[in-house]
Structure 1
């Protein structure tokens, strides 16, 4: 029996398995890259409130978690555009592939050094494996929320996350992408509180 002829539940199970395999590949790849499993402080926190602290990007959640939830919103929209006839688990597998790829790139020396030089993340060391895996799971949460919520609510939540993190930590997904691609000295100074 081909996958196309499989029952919807078997197809769903297959694509959910693909998403879990992609997460596992991400975790194993980061281990092979030499990433630490958890914060070198030896503890695991549910939320790290510090932004420019050694614990940032090391625990289960931090101020960048909303950005990963927004990734899920965006990837849901992308899946709807490019895989319109595909079922939700297949789109989730695509979203997981993109997020896992980003997490591997984000934790590579070239991006870590770029963050240090072009953004407010001066002492950034990259994510722990725990934080990176949680980032992917938060993306999946955002994806699933976008699949269930009306578009207006998804957009409102994304805007609220962007405004909240922009006000509280002077950073958000929009600023993060902008500063990574095309750094603006005035924004970098504002983010540093100068």
Structure 2
């Protein structure tokens, strides 16, 4: 068997696959017309206003913790169903799933669903830089889950959910609930 030196070694293949998946997702989002960066023409590290036209347009925002939680959850699920696969291939699979979600989330159908059943009336989709940062937040969550004890991963997920629910009245669980089974009482509570 011939092995390639350095970054082209066989064991680095899944990391290249994950990288290429992220590039493909970014290219697809650009192709369907998503703004590369905030339409204001600049990129901020953090944007904390959820009721703003700049929400989901910058690198990180109040929805970044939910993407870290995606990584924690994907690691757990893939450990249960595919633990024989090397870490890199499980990460590549998780990156593919997260990238598919970012593409779906920025489709006209899902954007309209958000606007119809959630408090995100001014949501027009993510910028490409925000989508890529969301995918990288999932990668961070996946890597954390690989290194943390299970109880710490669970505590981190619960902590992020509690924090965002308390501060912005939204989070991963509420987002899923409102997209799948919209409840007027929850929408009214979120509207504050």
For residues 44-99 of structure 1, what are the alpha-carbon distances to aligned partners after superposition, in whole Å with 9 as ceiling and x for unaligned? 10000100101100000000000000000011012112211111100000000000
Which runs of 4 or more aligned residues in structure 1 lie more than 3 Å from their structure 2 counterparts after TM superposition? none
Q: Distance in 2 between matches of 1:186 and 1:92?
A: 38
Q: Distance in 2 between matches of 1:183 and 1:149?
A: 34
Aligned to 2:99: 100
Q: Alignment partner of 2:138: what SS?
A: helix
Aligned to 2:83: 84
Aligned to 2:36: 37
Q: Distance in 1 between matches of 2:183 and 2:72?
A: 27
Q: CA deviation at 1:10?
A: 3.0
Q: CA deviation at 1:189?
A: 0.2
Aligned to 2:48: 49
Q: Distance in 2 between matches of 1:137 and 1:11?
A: 23
Aligned to 1:72: 71
For residues 77-122 of structure 1, what are the alpha-carbon distances to aligned partners after superposition, in whole Å with 9 as ceiling and x for unaligned? 1211221111110000000000000000000000000000011111
Aligned to 2:120: 121
Count of matched residue pairs: 188
Structure 1 regions of 5+ residues with no counterpart?
Answer: 4-8
- Give TM-score, length-normalised by structure 1: 0.94
For residues 125-180 of structure 1, what are the alpha-carbon distances to aligned partners after superposition, in whole Å with 9 as ceiling and x for unaligned? 10000000000000000000000000000000100000000000000000000000
Aligned to 1:6: none
- Give TM-score, length-normalised by structure 2: 0.95
Q: Alignment partner of 2:173: what SS?
A: helix
Q: Alignment partner of 1:166: what SS?
A: helix
Q: CA deviation at 1:2?
A: 9.4
